[in-house]
Amino acid sequence: MSGSGKRPLGTRRDWQTVGAATGLGCSVVTSLILCIGGGVLLDQWLGTEPLLTLIGVALGLASAGYLLYELAVINQPEKGLLRRRKPVSRQDRETR
């Protein structure tokens, strides 16, 4: 059946992409639910009806946007906000 035209289940790179997209989707939904839900609950508790809900929406959208940004630069760590530090060699430490 090797000539039946079936494609393999996917390469490792394909599964990594699926995993990254799934993780991003869960992170975006979780951040939006927590921020908006927190705003609604605080509004009900404090009686400041739409104010804290709108702040929650803004915070949720900002965190979702940041997560999308991080996914866009995941293969370019020098462009992200969280840069990897290069390990300092023993010679560099001794010369300081």
| pLDDT tens profile 39-86 | 999 999 999 989 999 999 999 999 999 988 887 776 565 655 555 556
Q: Is residue 10 part of a domain?
A: no
Instruction: Check residues 81 and 90 and name the one with the higher pLDDT.
Output: 90
Q: Average the pLDDT over each of 13-17, 30-34, 60-64 and give the range with the smallest value.
A: 13-17
Q: Is residue 7 part of a domain?
A: no
Structure confidence at residue 72 (pLDDT): 76
Stretch 24-47: mean pLDDT: 94
Q: Are 24 and 67 in contact (CB under 8 A)?
A: yes
* Residue 7 pLDDT greater than 90, yes or no: no
Q: Is residue 31 part of a domain?
A: yes
Expressed as residue numbers, the domain containing 35 is 20-74
Mean pLDDT of all residues belonging to the chain? 80
Q: What angle do CA 65, 79, 62 make, to 5 degrees?
A: 15
* Residue 94 pLDDT greater than 60, yes or no: yes
Q: Is residue 32 part of a domain?
A: yes
Could you tell me which of 7, 9, 63 has the C-alpha nearest to residue 33? 63
Q: Is residue 14 part of a domain?
A: no
Q: Is residue 51 part of a domain?
A: yes
Q: CA separation (Å) from 51 to 34, 35, 42, 56, 79?
A: 16, 13, 10, 9, 35
| Count of domains observed in the chain | 1
Structure confidence at residue 12 (pLDDT): 84
Q: Is residue 67 part of a domain?
A: yes
Instruction: Check residues 82 and 32 and name the one with the higher pLDDT.
Output: 32
Q: H helices of the chain, where? A: 12-46, 49-72, 90-95
